[in-house]
Structure 1
């Protein structure tokens, strides 16, 4: 009798209810086990070192340090790490940035549960996987011959853009990303140059138009 391979999962999401719901779902699946859960990037990194999971499933919107930053840290520590992003963000630019950071898969939270389960097995096998809504959005952009300005940004620049639009100070961003304020200022300049904007108000408007953030998110942080 062939033994079932047990895939060890680290699940990262800042909402306890979300973690509980998907822990229950995954526990019912043969060959899957959630060995640890984390509510933020710092905790996730520590648990990753402790449990050495086969797959890390992470949201992008996390307290303090984002999922993109977490992906970068995990890949730096362990390049063979298999990471699946599970996010509410349906903007294909987020998927592009997540894959650039090192994720193998990207599934939106609006996807059926069977899509997430399929993604886990695909990523575990070392294959790329996108939920159909993200794959369709990317295909439509390519079909239309359009190249979003956001795709010209590096992963680090994209993350700094998100924090700038959230009205974080240069010092706060530097502390969050563990980089120097000078690096943040340089990136700030490059971001505006690449996106073709002159000031922060125009930058914010562009970020909203490109759905990096939306007005509800901004009002919720006010």
Structure 2
């Protein structure tokens, strides 16, 4: 057990989970996952709230950002965050892109495990198109796609740019009536997206990698059971990503 002097404690303030998330440049939910996994040392107050020392947060920040210049130089351009991208990005976009690269999934061949998920997503929701996607800085690549011949789209056209900003499903009942998407080439032209629902897919460290989404060419909505089914399939897709990483020695 480490005994801190009164003066050292004053110099090392106690932080809340939200404070730690802000300092680390991650979402509160990601900070909570790091705390639960033991990556960030913390303790519980009598009221059940998590607290941690600023020094522990700074140490973790230094560890997470200790990537050598050589490693950064060798990273593919599409896995480097752009300075002024023409699309919305999470505040942790750089770390998110590195996690996408670490999965080892980009440009891999078709996998029945992921194809079963998109098939079930279409079956549960009754939509003609379903996709599991990963977002790089340049494109949205489809690990699995049902009902479309597309294998990727430009990042700036991606509906899932907005999905990865949130914690839960995003649903667009009619893209023509949504100012975020009404002028999107995927709406005004093929495949003529009208309805879209997508759940974020997160990697082992909590960063959003892409989405599981379903698409229709006519306006509609999902009922409660369909929403829960899509969320459950997104959880399964995340499990498959972790399994793939473990089987291929990715960390």
User: Does TM, normalized by the shorter one, top 0.5?
Assistant: no
Structure having the larger proportion of residues in strand: 2
Query: Quick check: which has more Rg, 1 or 2?
Result: 2
Say which structure, 1 or 2, has more relative contact order (CA 8 Å, 6+ apart): 2
TM-score (norm 1): 0.29
Structure 2 length-normalised TM: 0.26
Higher helix share: 1
